[in-house]
Structure 1
Amino acid sequence: MTATERLTISLLWVIGATVFVVLYGPALMVVLLSFFDITREGIDWGSFGFQWYGRLGDNPQMLAALGNTLLVGACAVVLATALALGLAYYMKTGARRGRAFVEFVIFLPFVLPAIITGISLLIAFRELGLERSLITVTIGHVVLILAIIYRMVTIRLDSLENSQIEASLDLGANGRQTFFHVVLPQLRSALVTSGLLAFTLSFDETLVTFFLVGGDATLPIRLWAMMRVGFTPEVNALVSIVLVVTITLAVLGAMSLKEAMARK
């Protein structure tokens, strides 16, 4: 290896390390600060402990926002999964008429800028006479995450042989029995993976939620509002917990996706 090659490799390592520091440094700083007291003079490095984690219960508004976020995410994933599963299965076994149009409708809100999607949904709900609430937020999240679940379910369905469905029907099973006993078990990994990824996306969705939320704020909206007056110390603890949970869900989703791909 020449000196020029060694210098190039070293430079690439430096650039790569810098990128990682810029991307993950702020998140790691939040986790670090969650263990210390912050005063007007700065960080009290002698106050290391879990005191701010224990004081999370003293901030009911923050916990309520977290609960709203979890509720919206869970409901959105369940509704989007049911809708995506039904559409994908129909496209697999039905006449497939209008498939291009259906997929256009599903993927368009996902590829559009979030601010456009949020404003469009806000106008639609206003014309329908629906007041902004957690229900409108949930519908907005379903519109966003439907594309992820539908795509992953469709890919898994396309890998299934039609002969399995035909054999089940020939042996006397009806459509419902074929779906629940033949098709659904083979979609389990795709549903779990897409559900985890969709929940992660729903959890930190801000722009669309901003246009659709009413009086009950979600966690991202609550944190956004606190930026004007500053964060209380226990916010670092809550964000650290959310960060760990989000990373865990993302890792589980990636592992599940890897296992699903390996089975093909």
Structure 2
Amino acid sequence: MTAAERITITLLWAVGALVFVMLYGPAFMVVVLSFFDISRDGIDWGSFGFQWYARLGDNPQMLAALGNTLLVGACAVVLATALALGLAYYMKTGIRRGRPLLEFVIFLPFVLPAIITGISLLVAFRELGLERSLITVTIGHVVLILAIIYRMVMIRLESLEDSQIEASLDLGANGWQTFLHVVLPQLRSALVTSGLLAFTLSFDETLVTFFLVGGEPTLPIRLWAMMRVGFTPEVNALVSIVLLVTITLAVLGAMSLKETMARR
């Protein structure tokens, strides 16, 4: 290896390390600060403990926002999974007419800028006479995450041989029995992976939620509102817990995705 190559590799490692620090440094600082008292005078480094984690229960508004976020995410994932599964299975076994148009409709909200998607949904709900609430937020999240679940399920379905479905039908099983006992077990890993990724996306969705939320804010909206007046110390503790859960979901999703790709 020449001197120029060594210098180039060193610079690349330095740039990579700098990018890594810029991306994850703020999150690391939030976790560190969640264990100390913070005042106008600065950080009390001698106050290490879990006091702010214990005081999370003293902030009911924050916990209510977290509960709304979890509720919206869970409902959105369940609805989007059912819808994506039905559409993908129809495209696999049905006439398959209009597939390009259908997939265009599914993927368009995901690839458009979030502000466009949010405004469009807001206008649509107003025309339909629907007041902004957690229901409209859930519908908005379904529109966003549907593309992820549909794509991953469709990839898994396309890897299945048509002969398996045909054999099941030839042996006397109806369409529902074929789906339940032949197709669905082979989609389990894809459903788990897409569900975890979709829930993570729904959990931290802010811009679309901003246009659709009513009087019951989700956690990202609550945190955004607190930026105007400043964060209370227990926010660091809550964000640290959210980071831990999000990283866990991402790791589980990556592991499940690796398993899904290995089976193809």
Show CA shifts across 1:163-186 (max 9, x none): 000000000000000000000000
Q: How big is the shift at 1:11?
A: 1.1
Q: Report the equivalent of 2:96.
A: 96
Q: Report the equivalent of 1:12.
A: 12
Query: Are 2:230 and 1:237 aligned?
Result: no
Q: Report the equivalent of 1:120.
A: 120
Q: Report the equivalent of 1:199.
A: 199
Q: How big is the shift at 1:4?
A: 1.8
Q: How big is the shift at 1:2?
A: 2.1
Query: Are 2:230 and 1:258 aligned?
Result: no
- The code of the aligned residue for 1:8 comes to T
- The code of the aligned residue for 1:62 comes to M
1:2-151 matched pairs, under 5 angstroms? 2-151=2-151
Alignment: residue pair count: 264
Show CA shifts across 1:38-86 (max 9, x none): 0111000000000000000000000000000000000000000000000
- The code of the aligned residue for 2:204 comes to D
Show CA shifts across 1:193-242 (max 9, x none): 00000000000000000000000000000000000000000000000000
Q: Report the equivalent of 2:163.
A: 163
TM-score, scaled relative to structure 2: 0.99
| Superposed structure 1 runs of 4+ greater than 6 Å apart | none
- The code of the aligned residue for 1:78 comes to V
Q: Report the equivalent of 1:219.
A: 219
Q: C-alpha distance in 2, partners of 1:6/1:90? A: 55
Show CA shifts across 1:101-158 (max 9, x none): 1101000000000000000000000000000000000000000000000000000000
| Percent pairwise identity | 90
- The code of the aligned residue for 1:33 comes to L
Q: C-alpha distance in 2, partners of 1:129/1:2? A: 70
Q: C-alpha distance in 2, partners of 1:178/1:13? A: 52
TM-score, scaled relative to structure 1: 0.99
- The code of the aligned residue for 2:252 comes to L
How big is the alpha-carbon RMSD for the aligned residues of Structure 1 and Structure 2?
Answer: 0.5
Q: C-alpha distance in 1, partners of 2:14/2:205? A: 33
Q: C-alpha distance in 1, partners of 2:91/2:172? A: 22
Q: How big is the shift at 1:8?
A: 1.4
The runs of 5 or more residues in structure 1 that have no matched partner are none
Q: How big is the shift at 1:9?
A: 1.3
SS in 2 for 1:157: helix
